[in-house]
Amino acid sequence: MSHSLCVIAGDGIGPEVLPAAVAVLEKLLPDLRVQEAEAGWDCFVRHGTAVPDSTLACMSACGAGLFGAVSSPSRRVEGYRSAILTLRQRLGLNVNLRPVRSWPAVSPKAGVDLLILRENSEGLYSGREHWESPEVAIAERVISRAASQRLAHCAVEVAQARGARRITLVHKANVLPLTCGLFRDSCREVLEAEGFGAQLDERLVDVAALQLVQSPEAFDLIVTSNLFGDILSDLACHWSGGLGLAPSLNWGSGLALAEPVHGSAPDIVGSGRANPLAAILSAALLLRYQWHEGALATRIEDAAHTFLAHEGHCDFGTETTRVVTQGVLALL
């Protein structure tokens, strides 16, 4: 198969770390065709839109993309909506995939290997907010059977690939019986129908958070809604070295957008200190789940593991981006 990639550098350190991930992919995929596109806050400032139609067209044509980072204001700006939320919703990237595993030198605990699948298009991130009065603002939480079942079908695919020993549905149906109840029941219906009833259990989100702190190695595959998954995956990534090493994949039907989770990190832009491993590991997710090149994805992850085992205790300072990139490339 041929491989086409839409590269969206975004804001902040995005343009600094994405070239490392692209270089890794180019080394493993000699046929890779790269197209560049724009999105993010800087794009909004320049063009009045955070995600131009040309970027959506590029992603749709390529089928796969890498997104660097996005800056978003913490206040309402007329006409602006987060670029990554727009990409997820406009392109139907309905599932977010976040692996958490122990890495040499940087992880505080060995033996952690879990994956969080989160619904990626609705919930409290649906963008449905309004003023009820000058003193009361309302946000609507949207949960649909269709989106919950799409998530569960992706969970089946991932569970089969992982040989999952446990699937944990995380919700808060004791407080939100309609929305969380619909989410739980819709996911359970699919998972049980696909033969995963024996591996399936449930946790309330607060209990899951506690247990991810106490015993993360007990979890395997976690399936949850949008906001809960966002919070739990950031909490869990402590065990893999923090947000700076956290990869993710926004996954839809025929489309996928890989995205390091670390954000735009404006305080280190231009310093050379940005660690590209999250971007590189996000590229591995693209290989495994979108292009079905599992062996190549494993080569990237093994190279990252070996690099950290030998160099993870070093402080590369202003040479971090270059040294990590060259180190991983040398090990492929």
Question: Residue 235: which CATH number?
Answer: 3.40.718.10
Secondary element (H or E) of residue 214: helix 205-214
Specify whether 217 is located in the same domain as 293.
no
The verdict on residue 51 lying in a domain is yes
Domain count along the chain: 2
Which position has the token pair 């400032």? 45
Quote the CA–CA distance of 142 and 185 in Å, as a whole number.
15
Least confident of 21-25, 65-69, 74-78, 255-259: 74-78
Residue 29: DSSP 8-state? -
Q: Does 1 score more than 70 pLDDT?
A: no
pLDDT of 2: 82
| Residue 13 placed within a domain | yes
Task: Point out the catalytic residue in the list 172, 185, 289, 302.
Answer: 172
Per-residue b or e along 4-37, where b marks 16 or more CB atoms closer than 10 Å to that residue's CB: ebbbbbbbbbbbbbbbbbbbbbeebbeeeeeeeb
What is the per-residue pLDDT across 215-240, written as a single tens digit (0 to 9) for each?
999 999 999 999 999 999 999 999 99
- Is 230 part of the annotated catalytic residue set? yes
Query: Annotated catalytic residue: which of 113, 185, 220, 234?
Result: 234
Rounded to the nearest angstrom, the gap between the alpha carbon of residue 77 and the centroid of all alpha carbons in its chain is 25
Task: Verify whether residue 206 is a known catalytic residue.
Answer: yes
| The pLDDT value given to residue 133 | 97
Q: How far apart are CA 189 and CA 328, in angstroms?
A: 42
pLDDT at 70 over 70: yes
Residues 167, 125 share a domain: yes
Length of the chain: 332
Whether 113 shows a pLDDT value over 90: the answer reads: yes
Residue 102 lies in a domain: no
Boundary residue ending a domain (240, 264, 279): 240
Same domain, 127 and 31: no
Q: Do 64 and 168 lie in a common domain? A: no
Whole-angstrom distance, CA of residue 98 vs CA of residue 103: 15
Give the mean model confidence (pLDDT) for residues 285-307.
97
Residue 178 pLDDT > 80: yes
Give the pLDDT score at 127: 84
Rounded mean pLDDT of the chain? 95
Asked if 224 and 118 touch (Cβ cutoff 8 Å), the reply is yes
| pTM listed for this prediction | 0.94
Last residue in a domain, options 240, 259, 292: 240
Query: Catalytic: which of 125, 267, 289, 302?
Result: 125
Element (H, E) at 281: helix 277-285
* Among 11, 42, 230, 289, the one annotated catalytic: 230
Strands in the chain per DSSP E: 4-10, 33-37, 64-69, 95-101, 113-119, 129-133, 136-139, 167-171, 200-204, 221-224, 249-251, 256-258
144-157: pLDDT as tens digits: 999 999 999 999 99
Local confidence band at 77 (pLDDT 50, 70, 90 cut-offs): confident
Largest Cα–Cα separation, the chain: 60
154 within a domain of the structure (yes/no): yes
**Catalytically annotated residue among 206, 267, 302, 315:** 206
Query: Which is it for strands 4-10 and 33-37: parallel, antiparallel or unpaired?
Result: parallel
Residue 195 has pLDDT above 70, yes or no: yes
- 233 with 252, same domain? no
Measured from the Cβ of residue 274, the count of other Cβ atoms closer than 10 Å reads: 27
Is the Cβ–Cβ distance between 104 and 122 less than 8 Å? no
Asked whether residue 103 is domain-assigned, the answer is no
Tell me, yes or no, whether 1 and 61 share the same domain.
Answer: yes
Report the pLDDT value the prediction gives residue 71, as an integer from 0 to 100: 87
125 included as an active-site residue: yes
How far apart CA 246 and CA 278 sit, in angstroms, is 5
Residue 280 belongs to domain spanning? 1-94+246-332
Residue 309, pLDDT score: 96
